[in-house]
């Protein structure tokens, strides 16, 4: 399962089409405008990045409707790429100023919100940055020029991200698939815990098989260094638990995406002995590479 990309006034085909452009095509894709150039007095990468971030949208006509979705995606990706090199305070100030000015045109604001989600938060994100994305989401959630449904959508995202911050304890309640009783994550083994979120899709079945066959993970579990907790999203079939390794803990929870910041399935959360999130939304392949 991939997290649903919402649509408020922008066709799915336009967003996905813009996102699926190859790297070579993206390089040749015209942007919405010519980007600013840092002066020679900016000698460091950070200072040059800061200058560009502060002036990136200077020539953009905020009141004019954005009609070229591919150019918008290209431009926003180039803008977001600068976040990695600029000073945090400059990045945040740039985002706040940009989003405030966008309120003059609600359609543009809505489009940028969708692209920000795609580039910084969704399953197709170029890179994940919860802190920066929340800054976008806050502006969208408080923008009265947007529809109530849209504002509430971003408010829910902000809440989910807040509940699943790295370094904070994971709040998880589930039904034990073996006993049928309710449990919380605090009642699981106090060792490093791998929480594997799955559903009945082929990706989840393949992922479970890959982890079951991973010798390093098997050894860590046998040695008592790692505990694996597999959580099914929804209500599984009666024989589901029997298909998993005996050493794994198994459980399920309905509407889990309303309580856990899941961006795709299967997804791995790695917790320390106090059930604090070390890493979240790791893919099976990312986890295997980390293990081996």
Determine the average pLDDT of the residues in 122-134. Answer: 92
Does pTM surpass 0.95?
no
3-state secondary structure the chain: CECCCCCCCCCHHHHHHHHCCCHHHHHHCCCCCCCCCCCCCCCCHHHHHHHHHHHCCCCCCCCCCCCCHHHHHHHHHHHHHHHHCCCHHHHHHHHHHHHHHHCCCHHHHHHHHHHHHHHHCCCCCCCCCHHHHHHHHHHHHCCCCCCHHHHHHHHHHHHHHHHCCCCCECCCEEEECCCCCEEEHHHCCCCEEEEEEECCCHHHHHHHHHHHCCHHHHHHHHCCCEEEEEEEECCCCCCCHHHCCCCCEEEEECCHHHCCCCCECCEEEEECCCCEEEEEEECHHHHHHHHC
29 or 65: whose pLDDT is higher?
65
The C-alpha atoms of residue 31 and residue 18 are separated, in whole angstroms, by: 12
Q: What local confidence, expressed as pLDDT, does residue 10 receive? A: 41
Q: What local confidence, expressed as pLDDT, does residue 2 receive? A: 39
With cut-offs at 50, 70 and 90, classify the pLDDT of residue 148. very high
Nearest to 288 by CA among 196, 168, 199: 196
- Sequence ranges of the domains in the chain: 12-163, 173-291
Q: Which of 249-253, 256-260, 265-269 has the lowest mean pLDDT?
A: 256-260
With cut-offs at 50, 70 and 90, classify the pLDDT of residue 11. very low
- Positive or negative torsion for Cα 22, 210, 240, 273: negative
Burial class (CB in 10 A: 0-12, 13-18, 19+), 28: exposed
Q: Residue 266 in contact with residue 203, Cβ under 8 Å?
A: yes
- Side-chain-side CA neighbours of 18 within 13 Å: the count stands at 24
Determine the average pLDDT of the residues in 248-274. Answer: 94
**pLDDT tens-digit readout, 79-102:** 999 999 999 999 999 999 999 999
* pLDDT averaged over every residue in the chain: 90
Q: Which residues contact 143 (CB under 8 A, 6 or more apart)?
A: 99, 103, 106, 109, 151
Q: What local confidence, expressed as pLDDT, does residue 144 receive? A: 97
Residue 131 has pLDDT above 50, yes or no: yes
Q: Residue 284 in contact with residue 269, Cβ under 8 Å?
A: no
Fold of 173-291: Glutaredoxin (3.40.30)
Q: What local confidence, expressed as pLDDT, does residue 22 receive? A: 47
Q: Residue 289 in contact with residue 214, Cβ under 8 Å?
A: no
Residue 4 has pLDDT above 50, yes or no: no
Give me the torsion for CA of 131, 119, 93, 159, rounded to 10°: -40
Residue 28 has pLDDT above 60, yes or no: yes
């Amino acid at each position: 399962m991939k997290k649903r990309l919402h649509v408020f006034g922008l066709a799915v085909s336009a967003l996905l089409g813009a996102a699926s452009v190859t790297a070579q095509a993206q390089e040749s894709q015209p942007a919405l405008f010519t980007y600013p150039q840092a002066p020679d007095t900016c000698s460091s990468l950070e200072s040059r990045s800061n200058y560009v971030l502060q002036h990136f949208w200077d020539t953009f006509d905020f009141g004019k409707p954005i009609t070229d979705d591919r150019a918008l995606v290209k431009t926003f990706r180039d803008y977001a790429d600068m976040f990695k090199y600029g000073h945090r305070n400059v990045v945040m100030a740039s985002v706040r100023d940009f989003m405030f000015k966008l309120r003059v045109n609600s359609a543009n604001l809505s489009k940028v919100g969708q692209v920000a989600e795609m580039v910084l938060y969704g399953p197709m994100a170029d890179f994940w940055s919860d802190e920066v994305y929340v800054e976008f989401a806050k502006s969208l959630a408080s923008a009265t020029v947007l529809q109530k449904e849209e504002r509430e959508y971003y408010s829910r995202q902000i809440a989910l991200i807040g509940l699943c911050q790295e370094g904070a304890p994971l709040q998880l309640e589930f039904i034990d698939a073996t006993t049928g009783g309710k449990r919380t994550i605090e009642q699981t083994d106090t060792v490093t815990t791998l929480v594997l979120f799955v559903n009945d899709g082929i990706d989840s079945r393949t992922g479970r098989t890959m982890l079951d066959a991973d010798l390093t993970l098997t050894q860590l579990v046998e040695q008592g260094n790692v505990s694996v907790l597999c959580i099914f999203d929804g209500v599984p079939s009666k024989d589901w638990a029997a298909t998993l390794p005996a050493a794994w803990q198994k459980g399920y929870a309905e509407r889990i995406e309303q309580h856990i910041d899941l961006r795709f399935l299967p997804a791995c959360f790695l917790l320390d002995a106090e059930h604090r999130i070390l890493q979240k939304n790791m893919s099976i392949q990312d986890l295997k590479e980390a293990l081996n």
